[in-house]
Amino acid sequence: MDSLDAILEASVAHGHDTADKLLGAAFIVVNGKDVVYRGAAGRIRFDPASTPFAPDSFSWVASLTKLVTATCLMQLVERGEIGLDDDVRALLPELGRLQILRGFDQAHRPLLQDNAHPISLRMLCTHTVGTCYAPLDPRLIEWCQQVGHPIRQTDWSIDAMSIPLLFAPGHGWVYGTSLDWAGLLLERITKQSLGQYMQAHIFDPLDMSDTGFWPEKLPQTASRTVAWSHRHAASLTLEPADPITPEKHEIESGGAGLYSTADDYARFLRAFLAGTLVSEATMRTMFSPQLNQVQKEALKTMAYHAQLHRAMAPEFPPGLDIDHGISGFINLQDVPGKRPKGSLMWSGMCNSHWWIDRQTGIAAVLVVNVVDTGDSVVVRLYDELERAVYAHGIGGK
């Protein structure tokens, strides 16, 4: 445990100089029964005398939301309220109406084709629908510029998500808004908001009192809220950053809308490992490779792209065989010195990460708040923490 404490302490600034350092970080490892490591280092704001960063420090966890949303949808599948392969277009007509962007003509007008293919919950949970975050693809950037559509991925509205598909549903893989659409699907099935469903079926049962879609409804977290920061490219120092989440939003984003703490997210991971949220059969499905060969090659091309690797899959050496389960990447080979094959993982825009290793029986979450996805300091920190966890055999079954 001391080695993990030392790794965290070495990663954070202890004065005003933040070059190649973080303001703060929290890291928790759990098994299905207990918290086996819980630590933090640094502070929550730029002032060196500010409140220490702690496992209950509060921040936007961005795409760590996706696993929570997918787990809720799989609960509906278990109850027979929807099937993984049911066509959801009748419940999500806005998604069903989206056209497929086939390119641009010589006058730079978009070439759009109506979608006649079914869209399933499985596609939504595996990013095989064709919905992409606009800033990630130059074709969508051009389309947005042509039609005057905002090029943002955190507006959290149906209009913001209503951009063309990049391929026919089921015929590729691309990272985007599919879990936001899945959250809307849950709302239309249950006649509850996504937040209400999560509160009743996840947050209240697990005592996750510091987690939700609306920070203003969690006033107890105000004094523990972490400052936004980004790293200066040349000096590698941290600078204050404006929040990139909207104060007002139409939908509770199932893809990226939650604010939480390391403590609360660890409660979720522990319950997930223990089998109290979904059944063993459902967990086996979630941890099973879901992609065909075309989809898998598209995933690997994006995950290992030189400009995206640090953001999407820094814990995997380029070329490691990977696939996608329900709401996360699966490594199909052991990662040398780290997690064994068959583990599930994801991360968030502000560099928080989680992984679940069912073979060893552990899960872990790292919470930080640096806006630039793929921050080099976090990549190094996360690698060192994971290597220490497995080197010391922390927390197995």
> Side-chain half-sphere of 274: how many Cα atoms within 13 Å?
15
Is this structure's pTM higher than 0.95?
Answer: yes
Q: Quick one: pLDDT at residue 129?
A: 99
Q: What does the alpha-carbon distance between residue 70 and residue 125 come to, in Å, rounded to a whole number? A: 6
Q: Quick one: pLDDT at residue 395?
A: 73
| Average pLDDT value for residue range 32-46 | 97
Instruction: Decide if pLDDT at 396 tops 90.
Output: no
User: What CATH architecture applies to the domain 1-57+208-392?
Assistant: 3-Layer(aba) Sandwich (3.40)
Q: Quick one: pLDDT at residue 380?
A: 98
- Do 357 and 394 form a contact (C-beta atoms < 8 A)? no
pLDDT digits (tens, 9 = 90+) for 46-102: 999 999 999 999 999 999 999 999 999 999 999 999 999 999 999 999 999 999 999
With a pLDDT cut of 90, the percent of the chain lying above it is 94
Q: Quick one: pLDDT at residue 397?
A: 65
What's the chain's average pLDDT?
96
Q: Quick one: pLDDT at residue 389?
A: 97
pLDDT digits (tens, 9 = 90+) for 96-155: 999 999 999 998 899 999 999 999 999 999 999 999 999 999 999 999 999 999 887 778
Using pLDDT thresholds of 50, 70 and 90, give the confidence band for residue 248: confident
> Side-chain half-sphere of 371: how many Cα atoms within 13 Å?
16
Instruction: Decide if pLDDT at 179 tops 80.
Output: yes
Strand (E) positions, the chain? Answer: 24-30, 35-42, 59-60, 100-104, 110-113, 229-231, 238-240, 259-260, 322-325, 328-331, 344-347, 353-357, 362-367
**Of the candidates 70, 21, 58, which has an alpha carbon nearest to the alpha carbon of residue 42?**
21
Q: Quick one: pLDDT at residue 153?
A: 72
- Do 315 and 330 form a contact (C-beta atoms < 8 A)? no
Q: Quick one: pLDDT at residue 93?
A: 98
Q: What does the alpha-carbon distance between residue 57 and residue 361 come to, in Å, rounded to a whole number? A: 26
Tokens representing residue 235 in the block: 């000096």
State the span(s) of the chain assigned CATH 3.40.710.10.
1-57+208-392
Amino acid at 182: A
Using pLDDT thresholds of 50, 70 and 90, give the confidence band for residue 381: very high
Instruction: Decide if pLDDT at 318 tops 80.
Output: yes
